Amino acid sequence: MDMDANVIFETKRLTLRKCTPEDLAFFEEMLGDAETMRFFGQGKPLSSAEAEAWLDSCIRHCQRHGWGPGMLVRKVDGAVVGLGVLTYMQHDPTSEEGDLIFVVRKSHWGQGYATEFARAATAYMLKHTTIKRVIATAMPENRASNRVLVKAGLRFTGYDSESNRNCYIAKIEDLG
């Protein structure tokens, strides 16, 4: 398949490309790492089977909609720095809400990749899909992700005690 057909969008330093079955080792490595996963999902690493299910879900979303979760690839050298997820809320294509998630490899933390992705993914969803509101959440103790969401232009809307998450939103009206 032509590489351009696999590109969802690009930023100055990153390409978000569609996931492929060949990404399984990356999914298992990153989503199986306890430190990386402590603030993600249930706060624990995923098994190989769970990582494979995540990858399959990412691939299916892009096949159905032409956009969605993908690999964050550094342009300068082709290194995969993380996973960037943009999808319909609850995977419901009739929803006007989009879900924004990012997981960056530990070796690339603190280099601005999450902010760069979150900013571009928010704009992409609001400009190129039927999504009208982008939602993102972060555990309060995950100060880095909370900062990323604010720097990316999402607005803090409150704390959800049931999920132990701070909630953030960007709306289509915010684009001006």
- Provide the residue-wise pLDDT of the chain in tens; the chain has 176 residues: 445 889 999 999 999 999 999 999 999 999 999 999 998 888 899 999 999 999 999 999 999 999 999 999 999 999 999 999 999 998 888 999 999 999 999 999 999 999 999 999 999 999 999 999 999 999 999 999 999 999 999 999 999 998 899 999 999 877 65
Name the amino acid, one letter, at 166. Answer: N
The model's pLDDT over 124-156, given as tens digits with 9 standing for 90+, comes to: 999 999 999 999 999 999 999 999 999 999 999
- The pair phi, psi for residue 143, each rounded to 5°, is -60, -35
Q: How many beta carbons lie within 10 A of that of residue 58, not counting itself?
A: 22
**Domains of the chain as residue ranges with CATH:** 3-175 (3.40.630.30)
H or E segment and range at residue 143: helix 143-151
Going from the C-alpha of 21 to that of each of 25, 54, 56, 146, 176, the distances in angstroms are: 9, 11, 8, 31, 39
Sheet holding 133-138, edge to edge: 7-10, 14-18, 70-74, 80-88, 97-104, 133-138, 165-171, 155-160
Going from the C-alpha of 166 to that of each of 146, 155, 158, the distances in angstroms are: 8, 11, 6
